[in-house]
Amino acid sequence: MLPQPRSLPLSFAILSIACLPLACTTLGPMPGMTMANSVPEVRPGGEVGAAIVPGYYLSDSTGEDPDRDQMSQLYGFFDPGYLWPLKGLSVGGRWVAGGDETGYFEPMLRYRTFLDNEDRVALSAVGFGTYVDRSHQGASYSVVRAGAELATDIRLTPISRWAELHLLGGASLTVLSGDGSYCMDEESGYGIDCTDDRTANAEAELLGAYPSAFVGVNVQVARHLDILFHGLRVGGFIAGGTMPRIRFAEQQDSPESWFTWGANASFDLGAAR
């Protein structure tokens, strides 16, 4: 895959200095889902969460045997609730970290609504995107990342002031466009780490759209109390999708598939009524 430094500032996409399976540099966490709550909240407030997100590392896209991984994520949303004319619209962002880098920031925009009068089935749409242009240890890259996620949340148990069981599922599509230079093993065609005596010898371009899908369950606690605490959400997920593949500095026609698991915990705070 395209290269990435060991430490990145706030950014929107990460592409990587890749490596052979031995002594691999793991960079470029690409989460397969946003972990955003799909259930609307009428009261003004905010959502804060932490997660182990299913996905993959872009550094694996040039490797001989790509891994399927989890990455850590911190995220938050502000929902104006009834203070905003367009109810259901909220703004937020996430910090995604993992592997050999400090991570990157990505803003998100979310819309939530119920599809039925019993508030049992909720639907959410989340958009995200960013840009990064960096060079590090003999490698350089410039890339744009943008995507959208559509998810549904189905309440499986009756409305409760104390605990509810929810089923979650959805899909996302991430578009990547970038170019860069990196170090490549000329015999195998796979990426390797650049060193003091090994300079970038390959240039590659990347352009593609990569879908993913997920399903999971979560428990929502104390969501209907008339207090500043708007509830706690804890859940687990499985997800799968596709990732880019590059060999001999050429993007391959067929993407690689990935499949793994994740977990999430979040809570909401805001107006009591």
In a domain, 137, yes or no: yes
Three-state SS at 58: helix
Q: Return all residues near 22 (Cβ < 8 A) that are at least 6 apart.
A: none
CA torsion sign, 179 to 183 to 186 to 190? negative
- pTM recorded for the entire structure: 0.86
For residue 154, being part of any structural domain is answered with yes
Range of the domain at 89: 29-270
CA distance from start to end of the chain = 50
Report the C-alpha gap between 63 and 105 in whole angstroms: 25
Is 59 a member of any domain?
yes
SS (H, E, C) 172-202: EEEEEEEEEEEEECCCCCCEECCECCECCCE
**Does any domain span residue 15?**
no
Written as one letter, the residue type at 259 is F
Q: How many independent structural domains does the chain possess?
A: 1
Domain assignment present for 135: yes
Query: Has residue 84 been placed in a domain?
Result: yes
206: in domain: yes
| Domain-located, residue 221 | yes
The domain that holds 150 is classified in CATH as: 2.40.128
Per-residue pLDDT of the chain (273 residues; tens, 9 = 90+): 444 333 333 233 333 333 333 335 566 788 999 999 999 998 999 999 999 999 988 777 777 777 778 999 999 999 998 888 888 999 999 998 876 666 789 999 999 999 999 999 999 999 999 876 656 566 666 778 899 999 999 999 999 999 999 999 999 999 999 887 778 889 998 888 778 788 888 888 889 999 999 999 999 999 889 999 999 999 999 999 999 998 998 999 999 999 999 999 999 999 987
Residue type, 235: G
